[in-house]
Amino acid sequence: MNLIIDSGNTSVKLAIFNKGEVVHIETVAQKDFVQGVKKLFQEFPTVEAAIISNVGSLSKEKIKVVAVFCELHELSHTSKVPFKNSYATPQSLGVDRLALMTAAYYRKPHSNTLVIDAGTCITYDMLNDFDEYLGGAISPGIQMRYNAMHDQTAKLPLLEKTELLDYIGNSTENCMHSGVLYGVELELNGIIELYNSRFKDLTVILTGGDTQFLSKRVKNTIFADSKFLLKGLNYLLEYNKH
């Protein structure tokens, strides 16, 4: 059994894999990380190895707790990956993006794959049919766009995403919703079209916290997989054992 730890900007996702399959997933606040890890090892005492992707601010002291229970691999730009990394500044590349490209590689090697991770930020990452990671793009996520309008103005309210019937807003709140949601929708479809025009037989994977909300807004053929990052981390853990 493997323990997979995905530490984001606000919370930590903990997953247990057994023979390549997810058997348990939970999310804990960063302040509850140590307690959550101890509880997991009580429930799954046969966990032998763990990997952590830390793109948030989880402290080294908390991370070290995991190493008390099992072998721990801290994912970094020096970790072994099964593809060629052509990113110009690999030391600045988010380790979560390494995990996504690994999942893309194992899902369908030697093919053109665009992975869109819709979370706090929306990241676009491209693995070509030579198994070469080219890079991609980063833009603000849905909630970040709402937060920016509220934080950078005096009177606009703080909103959360909701479904809209019309792209023409008839109130300030509806105008904000339209700007964010249709802006993201058009961005996704436009960027997918750009990649489609350049890469033959492109596969598009949509993952991240807003996967379910956005999947029905993308016109192109995509595969939605909310566990894609966790799967990539599990692959990387196995790959770095050897």
Q: Which residues are catalytic?
A: 96
Tokens of 166: 């019309």
Task: Give start and end residues of each alpha helix (H) in 78-200.
Answer: 95-107, 142-151, 172-198
**What is the residue-wise DSSP string for 153-174?**
SSSPPP------S-SS-SSHHH
Q: Tell me the pairing of strands 113-118 and 49-54.
A: unpaired
CA dist., res. 89 & res. 86, Å (int):
9
| Mode of pairing for the β-strands spanning 21-29 and 49-54 | unpaired
Structure tokens, 214: 């956005």
